[in-house]
A = this chain, B = another copy of it.
Amino acid sequence: MQRVYNFSAGPSMLPLEVLEKAQEELLCYGDSGMSVMEMSHRSRDFEEIIEAAESSLRQLMNIPSNYKVLFLQGGASTQFAAVPLNLLSDHKCADYIVSGQFSDKAMKEAKKYGDIAIAASSAGASPSYSTVPKTERSDFRPDADYVHICFNNTIYGTKFPYIPDTGNIPLVADISSCILSEPIDVTKFGLLYAGAQKNVGPAGLTIVIVREDLIGNARPDTPVMLNYKALADGKSMYNTPPCFSIYMAKLVFDWLLSIGGLEEMKRRNERKASLLYDYLDNQTYYTAPVDKNCRSMMNVVFVTGDPALDKKFVAEASEAGLKSLGGHRSIGGMRASIYNAMPYEGVEKLIAFMKKFAVENPKL
């Protein structure tokens, strides 16, 4: 069976070299005589894997030494609670920029724990969330414990074209769908978190990068598995971590280093995204509804303007080996997620299919 081009928003494509390496080692890792899946997390072999994973990630993202890197479970949705549980101080106040469904969910989860305000929202844009709100420092309450954003909005295909200026207030960002797609200045953030299942590895791993001074002030009733202090003190092994997912992430990090790191990854991603957006901008059959200034390099949303035609497009693309091109179930249309592991040829094939489909299905 031939491998397909998988445009899923996540879980999504992994580099073929990474899958092949994992396959090769699946029954026996190195000279351990066992699979990584069978290995005690306290074994020297696994300790080397998790240490190497952290070291490679630090190198790739240029993470300063005053930030902890945590390999956790539960997805970004668990961080929606962990962030306020750990970062809200006694007066419990934080500001959220709402630029899509996930930042809205994060905001609503935080409301369980404090005085949460919406500093800015693009819910009212047309279409909803098709842009990212502009903000300036005065939009945030000076006594906010943190400001939260979702940096890339997977569902809507938008991305913050700027890093909000929050002054001394720690900026927290969900970077699930753009982590490792290009360099990011970690020092501008107090905390970054990401589910692994887009650019890192298999689902079931969550990465948290948190400045040390933000650790240690969790509410007393915080579940221990959501308490950054316990998790950092345990070096991500307060309990058994998702070992195999961490191993896969390490292989992905090594692959990224081998191709030249995030500068090279950015070059490749820009090349792929430009190819697709340039095509969209120079025809009239498909519409890209997103504010051009806020376009995501990872998730490219487009529609024909006719829901029945959109549905036909997704089905016929799938038949042609271009998988999971349907938009999120809440907005419909099409979405091509072109994460790090999507090769340039995948985007070329997609555009060829789009051209063919447009010719074969003229609008009335």
Chain A residues within CB distance 8 Å of chain B: 1-4, 6, 8-14, 16, 19-20, 22-23, 26-28, 30-35, 37-43, 73-78, 80-82, 85, 109, 112-113, 195, 197, 201-205, 220-221, 223-226, 238-245, 248, 321, 323-324, 329
Q: Looking at the complex, which one of B16, B74, B220, B323 makes contact with A74 (CB distance below 8 Å)?
A: B74
Q: Are B323 and A77 in contact (CB under 8 A)?
A: no
The interface residues of chain B lying within 8 Å CB-to-CB of A220 are 112
Q: Looking at the complex, which one of B41, B43, B225 makes contact with A203 (CB distance below 8 Å)?
A: B41
Smallest Cβ distance from A326 to chain B, in angstroms?
Answer: 9
Identify 8 new A-B residue pairs, CB closer than 8 A, beyond the known A19-B37, A73-B74. Answer: A1-B30, A1-B31, A4-B34, A23-B27, A76-B239, A80-B223, A203-B240, A204-B245
Q: A8-B40, A14-B37, A26-B26 are in contact. Are A241 and B74 (CB under 8 A)?
A: no
In the bound assembly, the distance between CA atoms of A77 and B12 in angstroms comes to 29
The interface residues of chain B lying within 8 Å CB-to-CB of A31 are 1
In the bound assembly, the distance between CA atoms of A204 and B75 in angstroms comes to 11
The interface residues of chain B lying within 8 Å CB-to-CB of A14 are 35, 37-38
Q: Looking at the complex, which one of B34, B113, B205, B238 makes contact with A6 (CB distance below 8 Å)?
A: B34
In the bound assembly, the distance between CA atoms of A74 and B238 in angstroms comes to 11
Q: How many copies does the complex hold?
A: 2
Name the CB-closest residue of B to A197. Answer: B240
In the bound assembly, the distance between CA atoms of A74 and B239 in angstroms comes to 9
Q: A26-B22, A43-B8 are in contact. Are A74 and B225 (CB under 8 A)?
A: yes
Name the CB-closest residue of B to A9. Answer: B40
Name the CB-closest residue of B to A108. Answer: B224
In the bound assembly, the distance between CA atoms of A127 and B99 in angstroms comes to 58
